């Protein structure tokens, strides 16, 4: 019979699916001629085990780019769609 800590750990594993961002590719796509385009970031997770495309507002592109460059260890929660940057100095 599993103990309470094992059961709690199994529930947490089911709730969180966090993968390491091992590479990324920024792109810009023209929508309609003369209209604002769309920025995306393709996240390569765990060396290609999974991929995810982030659709970014133009106001977020610079901040996300800088955070990805500065963070030595970036994770992505595929369930909640959260990008987490590790070990950044304040």
Walk along the chain (90 residues) in steps of 10 and give the mean pLDDT of each run: 71 74 96 90 96 95 94 93 86
Q: What is the pTM of this model?
A: 0.76
80-85 — which CB contacts under 8 Å span 24+ positions? 80/16, 83/21, 83/43, 83/54, 84/18
Is 72 strand, coil or helix? coil
d(CA 19, CA 46) in angstroms, rounded, equals: 6
> What confidence score (pLDDT) does residue 17 get?
86
78 lies in some domain: yes
State the residue range of the domain holding 29: 18-86
In the chain, how many domains are there?
A: 1
d(CA 11, CA 19) in angstroms, rounded, equals: 17
9 lies in some domain: no
33 lies in some domain: yes
């Amino acid at each position: 019979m599993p103990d309470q800590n094992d059961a709690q750990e199994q529930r947490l594993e089911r709730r969180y699916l966090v993968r390491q961002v091992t590479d990324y590719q920024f792109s810009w796509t023209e929508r309609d001629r003369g209209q604002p385009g769309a920025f995306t970031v393709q996240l390569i997770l765990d060396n290609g085990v999974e991929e995810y495309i982030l659709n970014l507002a133009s106001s977020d592109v610079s901040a996300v780019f800088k955070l990805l460059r500065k963070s030595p260890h970036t994770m992505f929660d595929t369930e909640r769609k959260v990008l987490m940057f590790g070990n950044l100095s304040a």
